[in-house]
Amino acid sequence: MLAGPEKTPTRPAGACEPPGGPPVPPRPPAVLVLEGPVGRAEVPRLCERLGELARGSGPGPVTVDVAGVGRPDLAVVEALARLRLTARRLGRGMRLRNAGGDLRELLAWAGLEDGPTSGRDTGSNAGSGPGRGALRVEPLGQSEEGEQAPGVQEGVEPGDPPV
């Protein structure tokens, strides 16, 4: 038996719209724009702002636009590392937008090339892939117990007691 128009069933509060209901507008992506020189004192405020943007945005990585930072220095690298950590704590990735060659080289030098810049959107500089220009240091193997590390020579001084 069908209900008439006067007996329209009601949904409890918080129930989902049925398919074909009003569309839910997508939330905008999170974009944090860095402008001017970035100092160490500003990093906590930037991390807080990134958290606000990430919580109020759609899914996916947060984007940090670095076009306005000017000449990058280690304070910028520290800020980007802390922003990446904030994004990770929120379960998000992070990508850079408009990262110039100087900043990418500095990130590679600091060991962060594959960190905040993974999936990066660098505009006209997108041709250089992750890891280009990065310092790759291969660790030497560990010495086994009782063996000297390669390249280490033990010297004996005259007058030293025997071991």
The per-residue pLDDT for range 38-74, each reduced to its tens digit, is 999 999 999 999 999 999 998 899 999 999 998 999 9
**DSSP result, 59-126:** SS-EEEEEEET-S--HHHHHHHHHHHHHHHHTT--EEEES--HHHHHHHHHTT-TTTTTTT-B-GGGT
The per-residue pLDDT for range 119-161, each reduced to its tens digit, is 444 443 333 343 333 333 334 445 455 555 555 566 667 777 7
**Mean pLDDT, all residues of the chain:** 74
CA distances from 43 to 37, 50, 127, 161 (A): 12, 10, 30, 57
Q: Supply the pLDDT for residue 111.
A: 87
Domains and CATH numbers, the chain: 27-118 (3.30.750.24)
Put simply, whether the predicted model's pTM sits higher than 0.75 gets the answer no
